Amino acid sequence: MRAPAFWYTRQAGWQATLLRPLEVLWRFGAARRQARGAAQRVSIPVICVGNLTVGGTGKSPTVIALVAELQALGLQPHILSRGYGGVEQGPLQVTDGMTAAQVGDEPVMLSAFAPVWVSRDRVAGAQAAAAAGADAVILDDGYQDPKLAKDLSILVVDTATGFGNGRLLPAGPLREPIESGLSRADLVLALGPAAVPDVGAVPVVTGQIVPLATGMPWAGLRVIAFAGIGRPEKVFATLRGLGVDLISSHGFGDHEPYSDAVLQRLLHEAQTANARLVTTEKDAARLPEWFRPHVMPLPVRLQFTQRAALDAALATLIR
């Protein structure tokens, strides 16, 4: 599903007003969920990377960056994901040859950086990771799941969109009220060049999502781009910033599977225009084998610009 434009307008508009009754129901459900019994702890630290809005804020690059940080500190972190888009219930460790249809696109992509566990039951998944030798678990999403206790909760915010129109689903992009979400955050990671939204007294870390330097000569390259993430336009803007000749761009819904018919149309368009097909690493993880030689992923990474609060939090966590 693509996010509707009225989610990110200053004034919510008539659409949000019309959806107010459903928003009230969502608010009630979110509050009831958080009021459930005490969270269960596991034997190793759990670092949660989450957000308050649906759609892409930069959680996956954050997880990759945290893996590198913990590995540099001598730890062996494992990643825990619900496996959105996959059919496996878990707990199951992602291994070579598993597909996005089985375990989800993000776990397949992230498995290149650290061991990844897929589990609909996050407590069971964290326990499985600990039993397999993990020194810490990085929870990819799960911020709104009250069952698993978190030792460090990092709330990722895209400064370009902030908290949208401030309304809850489906009237806006929020999964829960801003106040309740911030009350459980240990850190806010603000990504992007825009001003950091008001997050009260929560310590703030800042950073940018930047293309990974691979030596690829992007400038002047004729490109047809496609992406099925929370905000596909971010990918297209990144490519323009690299100086590509962007012939056309195609946005799809977040985690949306690609049919052979869609991929054949993209391939035909690229061949006709004498252009390269480019997509994200996450999209590449859910492409069929026959199509992968025809597409070039655009790798991006998180680059911290203000990280003192993160260093302090990690030092406290592992001492």
Alpha-carbon span 207 to 306, nearest angstrom = 7
**Cis omega (within 30 of 0) on the bond before 91?**
yes
Q: Does the pLDDT value for residue 2 go beyond 90?
A: no
90-108 burial, b at 16+ Cβ within 10 Å, e below that, comes to bbbbbeeebebebbbbbbb
Residues 6+ apart with CB under 8 A from 288: 258, 260, 263
Domain ranges of the chain: 37-209+302-318, 222-298
Question: Tell me: the pLDDT tens digits for 34-52?
Answer: 887 789 999 999 999 999 9
Question: Tell me: the pLDDT tens digits for 240-265?
Answer: 999 999 999 999 988 888 999 999 99
Tell me which residue has tokens 């009021």: 35
Summarize the confidence of residues 271-282 as an average pLDDT.
97
For domain 37-209+302-318, the CATH class is alpha beta
Angstrom CA distances, 35 to 26, 28, 39, 153, 180, stand at 14, 11, 10, 18, 11
pTM given for the model: 0.94
Question: Tell me: the pLDDT tens digits for 144-193?
Answer: 999 999 999 999 999 999 999 999 999 999 999 999 999 999 999 999 99
Alpha-carbon span 254 to 55, nearest angstrom = 7
Per-residue confidence (pLDDT) for residue 250, from 0 to 100: 97
Confidence of residue 12 (pLDDT cuts 50, 70, 90): low
**Single-letter code of the amino acid located at 120:** R
Per-residue confidence (pLDDT) for residue 130, from 0 to 100: 98
**Single-letter code of the amino acid located at 137:** V
Enclosing H/E stretch for 246: strand 245-251
Q: In what side-by-side order are the strands of the sheet with 92-93?
A: 92-93, 116-118, 77-81, 136-140, 46-50, 152-158, 187-191, 204-211, 300-306
Q: Does the pLDDT value for residue 1 go beyond 70?
A: no
Q: Residue 194 phi/psi, 5° resolution? A: -75, 170
Alpha-carbon span 176 to 30, nearest angstrom = 6
Per-residue confidence (pLDDT) for residue 290, from 0 to 100: 96
